[in-house]
Amino acid sequence: MPEPKILRYELPGGWQVLVGGSAAANDVLSTELAAPDDWWFHADAVPGSHVILRARDDAEPGKETLEQAAAVAAYHSKARAARRVAVLVTRARHVSKPRGVPAGTVHVSRGRVVQVRPDIAQAVRLPE
């Protein structure tokens, strides 16, 4: 089985963002790579990539950083061309994979929705 495609970005302030490049990669990202304190993002009610903002021991992300990560999730969704996209934001600990559901499908037990413009202008793509 091929290695799942995980895209890597860096946001201002040195924040690391991971993006699933397929349904299988979304599963790996959300269930294996994400730590409980990482932030998890997904365009609400639209197919797209699961996005992880890595938690740090030395800082909590501010509202701007969370919105930049949400904008990356919106950009990597089927709503990329929309003016504004609703993006679900939660800690990775609130994301689980029910048995028997298709690849890329997860259950989110709690979170909130933010409205952002799909954008990766603030994100620097890192080599794979």
What confidence tens digit (pLDDT) does each residue in 5-55 have? 999 999 999 999 999 999 999 999 999 999 999 999 999 999 999 999 999
Burial of 52 (0-12, 13-18, 19+ CB in 10 A): buried
pLDDT digits (tens, 9 = 90+) for 49-94: 999 999 999 999 999 999 999 999 999 999 999 999 999 999 999 9
Strand order in the sheet with 39-43: 112-116, 85-91, 39-43, 51-53, 15-20, 6-11, 124-125
Q: How far is CA 44 from the centre of its chain?
A: 11
Q: 62: buried, middle or exposed (CB in 10 Å: 19+, 13-18, 0-12)? A: exposed
- Residue 110 — pLDDT band, cuts 50, 70, 90? very high
Query: What pLDDT does residue 67 have?
Result: 98
Would you list the domain boundaries of the chain? 6-122
User: Bridge partners of 88?
Assistant: 42, 113
Instruction: Determine the average pLDDT of the residues in 102-108.
Output: 94
> Cα–chain-centroid distance for residue 72?
7
Q: How many other CB atoms are there within 10 angstroms of residue 8's CB atom?
A: 14
- In three-state secondary structure terms, 73 is helix
